[in-house]
Every structure is written in structure tokens, then in C-alpha cells.
Structure 1
Amino acid sequence: MPESRRLIPLACALAVDMFGSGLFLPMSLLYFTEVAGLSLGTVGLLLSAATVASLPVPLLVGHVAHRFRPLSRVMLAQVVQGVAFAAYGWAHTATGVLLVAMLAAIGQRLFWSSFFSVVAGLAEPGEDRRRTDRRYALTGMIQMASMGAGTLVGGLVVAYGWYQPVVWANAATFLVSAVLLLAAPREPRTAPAERPADDYRTLLRDRPYLLLIAVNTIFALCSVFIGVALPVYLIEALPAPDWLVGPVLAVNTVLLASGQTLAVRLVRPLSRPRGLALAGLLWVMWALLYAAAVRVPGPALVPYLLVGLIFFAAADLIHAPLSNALSASAAPPAQRDRYLAVYQYCFAFASILAPAFFTTLYARGPAVPWLALALVTTVATVMVHALNGPLVAREDAAHTSAVR
């Protein structure tokens, strides 16, 4: 089956899913305060507890990965999330909110622990790296564009208080996504002789891959940091108008939704680890520029921030497709699903770490979080550059084996 026909059902399912998720995003905290009547502090604690409760999911996915196809796990994740959001309307107590939020978080964690195994499974044996990177780039662009469109619509309808209809619409998008996935191609089941042992000893001894996970946790922190830190930084620390937050984040979303294939093409001469090192360097420059924004005079601040945003967007455009492609190619073929499931902890840890990282350091000075981010990102950049040799050797070995 041609690649385009194999990718279309997956792309459509992802687009529907991300549109619904973006639609709900502007009211993710407001829903339970407005509909269930809970305080904002209580809702925040409950949602954080639900997120923590979902952390074991990637380990469980890795443990059973060889028994269930990745696509089947993704479809199950969509159904679980659809059921969770359909149940939001009946959650009017703290216990009810915690239960439905846990179910939604578990479904989301299951989705991201399995989705990139589906994308990796679309590759042909011995496929050229350029096609693989382009596929991950297209996936990332669909994700960002659909979520951005959903967030835009959600931001408009929240002004009218249409909380319950949006929740039901989000539930419906998950279920529609699951139906669309029925048309996606399925990988053959792994033969019993090829199944890996049911433990993580191989992964725990795999020092280059563990270092790759550590590096990508820092890079993922950079990626989520802008959404956590920028609104507070712009409103409280800089002489910038409050309305600037929305346009800056919107420009960033547009860049991420439209530029990944171009970024992959531009960094093609570099190996994937060196491409990631370039992304790290760009993030360091972005963090340093934003740290210095406290000394930029008011009239020059808006163009200064937009120029700095270009460094962030360029880093994210390079990082998103290359990191996913590298994580798949660096994993042993027989344990790829397990490795990719554990790899998703990069993003889980970054999402949990970012608020505490920013707020703790921000109390010491508005520029301190950005300087600290630049420092840890510099370390991660040096580390991924040092991993170039072993990771490229793995990619070459896997490509040679596939060709044979």
C-alpha cells in the first residue's frame, strides 16, 4: 500500500483528536470551577494528582507491548478518553472529578506511549532517513495545526460559557478518532521467537539510550516552558501590554504548525544527534535573549521578543521530528515498543517539572529561570553531541540489517 494511503487514516484520526483537545484546553481548569463549583486551588490539586496517577502507564505499556499491537492500544486510549470526557458532566464532587480526571490522564498517557510506535511501524524496511524524518514532521505539523485551530475556537466559545457542549464535543472527537483508526494499516503480530523478555534489564543497561532520555527531558522542558513561564513573565516582569501573551503564543503555534518539513530539509546534512544539538543551541540562545528582556526598553520590547521567539520556534521545529525519529531508530527492533513507551517519560517529567522549576526560580528574580534553563540546556546539548557516535552507529546498523 502506498505511504500516502497508509498515512491518511492516521493523520485524520490525529487531526480530529488534537482539534478536540485544543477545543477543551482553554477551559481545562475553568470547567470544574464553573460547572462543579469547586475552588481553583482544589481543581489544580486534583488534576495534578490525576497526572501523577497516570505515570505508571508507560511502564505497563512497555511490559505488555509485545502482546498488543500499537494501533490497538491507541484505539483503546481514544475510547478511554472519550468515556472519561463523556463522564465529566456527572463529576460534581472532588472524588468524582479525581476519578474522571484520572481516567482521562491514563487514556492520554496510553495514547502517547503507543502512538509513535504506530508512526514508526509505517516505515518500509531499509527506508531512507529523509522519508522517516518527513513523516514525523508531517505528524507534528498536523498535531500543532489541529490543536491550534481547536484552541482558537475554544477560546472564542468559552466567552459564552458553553462548557458542557465543548466537553461533549471533545468526547465525541476521541470516539470519532478511534473509528477512523479502524482504516489504518496494522502491523503483523510479533512471532513468539522474536518476543523480548518481560523485563527492563536490557533498557536499564542501555546507557546511550538512557542518556538520550535524560537529554530529551531537558529539551522537552524547553518546549513546554514557554507556555508555563511566558504569560507570567510578560505580565509581571516586563513593560509589555497584557494582550501580547495571546499573539506571541499564537505566532509560535503558527510557526510550529507550518515549518517542520522545512526544518527537517534544512538540517538534513546533519546526523539526528547533531541536529538535536543544534536545537539545544538555539534554545540556549532563546533563553538567554529572554533573560535579558528585563533590560530592554519598552518601545523595543515587542520586536525583541518576536525575534527571540524565532530561536525558540526553530529549535522546536528541529527537535520534534528528529527526537521521535531518533528514539525509534536507536531502539533495538525487538524492543522498540517498550523503548518508545518509556521514552514518553521525557514529556511527562518535563510537564511535571516545568511549573515548579519556573515558580521556585522566579521568586529569586524574573531572569533567573531563563538563565537556569540556558545552563541545563547547555549541558544537555553537550551530552547529545557526545552521543552522536554510538547513536549514529545504531541507526546505520539497523538500516543495514533492514536492507538485508
Structure 2
Amino acid sequence: MTDRRKLIALGLALAVDMLGSGLLLPVSLLYFTEVSGLGLSTVGPLLSLGALVSLPVPLLVGHVADRTRPLSRILAAQLLQGAAYAAYVLVSGPGTLLAVAIVAAVGQRLFWSSFFSVVAGLAEPGEDGRRADRRFALAGMIQMGATGVGTLIGGLAVAYSWYQAVVYLNAASFLLSAALLLLVPRGALPSPAPATGGGYRLMLRDRPYLLLIAVNTIYALCSIFIGVAVPVYLIDGLSAPAWIVGPLLAANTVLLATGQRLAVRLVRPLSRARALVLAGLLWVVWALVYAAAAGVPGWALIPCLLAGMLFYAGADLIHAPISNALSSAAAPPAQRGRYLAVYQYTFAFANILAPTFFTALYSTGPAVPWLALAVVAAAASALMWTLHTPMSAREKVPA
């Protein structure tokens, strides 16, 4: 199967997966409160606990990643998630809810700990190394586009209380995604990694890659800050009209779903490390503009917010594909699966950190979280600048 056909099959599987996941986003909490009769104060903590229990999954995946096929792991992840969401109908109390939440969270972490290894594995011998940027951009566009469409349909389902139908459709989407993945050849088992001193000990001595993980944790914090902080800040901190929140977030989703390949093409003259420095600086400007919004007159507020969002979108359009391509290129070829599995902790840590980061600083002043975010994004950009030489050297090594 050619690279293009493999990418099409993989893209369809991802689109179906993300469409189903987007459908569930507006419904996930409401299903348990409206259909299963559980209280919100019970549902929220149990779903969070399920996510915490799944945190070791990337480490476990990394332990076997370079001895197993990533596509096989993704198939297992889709079956786990399909079974978990099909079992929603069995939830009748806290115990069954926690069990379902754990299985779903484990399946989700297994998927994302393996998916980018599959994308990286689509590379053809001797191809231009930056071609991977376009593949990661296309995967990101599919992810955002399908999730956005699913979320819109899910919002409609909430309006008509179609909770049960959404859950069944989400479960079916994972099974259909698994069936589509069967069209992608699994390939040969990875060659055993050479004896280099042992597994994670080698990674812990790889200071440039550990620094890349640390920097990307900050970048991931910037990326997800929009969903955590913007709605509260606009409505509570700025007294902006409530209608502006939806269009701002929707516009960003549209840009991410359509613009990543263009962004990759525009930053092609830069090394990947330098491109990520640019992304970090754009996030710095975004955070400063949003901090300054607290002091602008009312007539200038919406133009200020829209202008700031352009800087955010530019940063995210660059970061989403380039960071994944760099993490793949910077990993030792014989241990790429392990490295990419652990790299996914950057997003897990950022998701854990973001709510506390925002709420703790917001209590001292509405603009304070944005100023703090600008500082940490600037520090991350400076660290990424120092990674230019070691990362560029690794990208020149044949995979």
C-alpha cells in the first residue's frame, strides 16, 4: 500500500474516532446526571480519578513500544474505548461509573501513546525529512475538523436530550475506526533495540530530549489555556458579552482544522526548533494582549480580543504539527516508540496543571494568569532556542 493510501486509511479512522469523541464532549457529564441519575458532585471526581489511574499507561506503553506494532496497540485502544462507552448503559452507581471511566481513560491514553508512532512510521526510505511535518499537520487538521463537527452535533443532541443515542454512536465510532485501521498494514515487528544501557535509563540520560519534554509541557499549557481560561476571563474578568466566547473558540477550531499545512509550508525555511521558538513568542504576545485587555475601553475590547486570538492561532498552527514531527525526529530510531509514548506526558501534565495555574493566579487579579503565562512561555522559548543545535543534528540522522 502506498504512503498516500495508508495515510487515507489512517485519516479516515482518525476522523471517525474524533467525530465520535466530539459528539460526546457536550454530553459526557450530562449523560450520568440525566440518564444514570448520579449527582454532579459524584460524577466529576470519579471521572477525574479514572483519568489519574490511567496516568501510568504511557510508561507501560513505552516499555513495550519498541517490541510491539503501534497499529496493534491502537486497535486494542479502540476496542477498549468502544467497550467502555457501550458499557455506559450499565452504569448504575459510583462503582460501575469508576470502572467504565478507568477503561475509557486507559484506552484513550493507549491510543495517543501509540498514534504518533504510526504517523512517524509512514515515512518512506530516503524521503525529505520535513515531509513528516505535512503528515502531522494533516493528522492535526483531521483531528480538529472532525472533533469540531462532532461537538456541533453533540450540542444539538443536548438540546433534544438525545443522550443515549450519542453514547451508542460514540461506541460505534471506535469500532468503525478499528475496522478502518485494519486497512492499514501492520508491518513487521520492530527490530530489537540495541543494548545501550537499558530502557528508561537511556532516556533519563538524554538531556536534550528531556528538555524538549519540559519545554513542550509549557507549550501544551499555552495551547490548552484557551479552553480553561478564556471563558471565565471574558465573562467574569472583563464583563465581555457572553456571545463572544463561542465565536472566538469556534474560529480557532476552524483555523486549526484548515490551516496547519499552510503554517508548515510558511515556516519551512526555519528549523523545527526555530519554528517552535516562533510559536512560543506568538503565545507570549497573545498572553500580553489578553492581559492588556483588562485596561482597554469598552469599544476596543472585542477588537483587542480578536487581535490577540490571531496570535494564539498562529502559535497553535505552528506548534501542533511541528512539535510532533520534532519529537519523532529527535528520538533514537531504535527507541522511537518509547520516546513518543513518554512525550505524550507533556499534554497530560499540562491538563493537570492548567486549572490550578489559572485559578490560583486569577484570585490575585484577572490579568495575573496572562502575565504569568507570558513569562513561562518566554522562558520556554529561550530554552527551545538552545535546543536548535542538538535537535538539528538529530534530524540529519537517517531514520
Which deviations, in whole Å up to 9, do the C-alpha atoms of 1:169-188 show, x marking residues without a partner? 00000010000000012231
- Aligned position for 2:96: 96
Give distance in 1, aligned partners of 2:200 and 2:194.
Answer: 16
Q: Relative to 1, partners in 2 of residues 1:206 and 1:192: Cα closer, same or farther, differing over 3 Å?
A: closer
**Structure 2 unpaired stretches of 5+:** none
User: What does residue 230 of structure 1 align with?
Assistant: 230
In structure 1, how many angstroms separate the alpha carbons of the residues matched to 2:374 and 2:29?
Answer: 30
Q: Identify which range, 116-125 or 181-190, moves more after superposition.
A: 181-190
Contact 1:62 1:341 in 2 (8 A): yes
State the match for 1:314 in structure 2: 314
After superposition, the C-alpha distances for 1:47-79 in whole angstroms (9 at most, x for unaligned) are 111111010000000111133200000010000
SS in 2 for 1:126: coil
Aligned to 1:2: 2
1:295 Cα deviation (Å)?
A: 1.1
Letter of the structure 2 residue corresponding to residue 100 of structure 1: V
Q: Which residue of 1 aligns with 2:337?
A: 337
Residue type at the aligned position of 2:355:
P
Give the letter for the 2:23 counterpart. L
- CA–CA distance in structure 2, aligned partners of residues 336 and 168 of structure 1: 35
Shift of 1:241: 1.1
TM-superposed CA distance for 1:195, in Å, is 7.8
SS for the counterpart of 2:232 is helix
**Alpha-carbon offset, residue 37 of structure 1:** 2.0
Counterpart in the other structure of 1:202:
202
Q: What's the CA shift string for 1:143-193, capped at 9, x where partnerless?
A: 000000001111111111111110110000001000000001223112347
What is the CA–CA distance in structure 1 between the aligned matches of 2:356 and 2:198, rounded to whole Å? 35
Name the counterpart of 2:154. Answer: 154
Partner SS for 1:33: helix
Greater Cα offset, 255-264 or 29-38: 29-38
Which residue is 1:366 aligned to? 366
Counterpart-to-counterpart distance in 2, 1:267 and 1:109: 30
In 1, distance between residues paired with 2:209 and 2:354? 23
**Partners of 2:192 and 2:334 within 8 A in 1:** no
8 A contact 2:3–2:124 mirrored in 1? no
TM-score (norm. length: structure 1) = 0.96
Q: How far apart, in 2, do the equivalents of 1:20 and 1:140 lie? A: 16
Change (3 A) 1:34 1:142: same
So what's the TM-score if we normalise by structure 2?
Answer: 0.98
Contact 2:66 / 2:191 at 8 angstroms: preserved in 1? no
Indicate whether 1:273 and 2:268 are aligned.
no
- Deviations 1:12-44 (CA, angstroms, capped at 9, x unpaired): 000000000001001222221212222222221
Q: Distance in 2 between matches of 1:198 and 1:392?
A: 25
CA distance in 2, matches of 1:3, 1:190: 19
Structure 1, gaps ≥5 residues long: none
The whole-number CA distance in structure 2 between the counterparts of 1:275 and 1:178 is 34
> Kindly, what percent of the aligned residue pairs are identical?
68
- Match in the other structure for 1:191: 191
Question: In the TM superposition, what whole-angstrom CA distance separates every residue of 1:188-238 from its partner, at most 9, and x where no partner exists?
Answer: 112347587763111000000000000000000011110011111111111
Residue 52 of structure 1 corresponds to 52
SS for the counterpart of 1:190 is coil
CA contact (8 A) 1:217 1:347 kept: yes
- Report SS of the residue matched to 2:36: coil
Q: Separation in 1 of the partners of 2:172 and 2:196?
A: 37
CA contact (8 A) 1:46 1:97 kept: yes
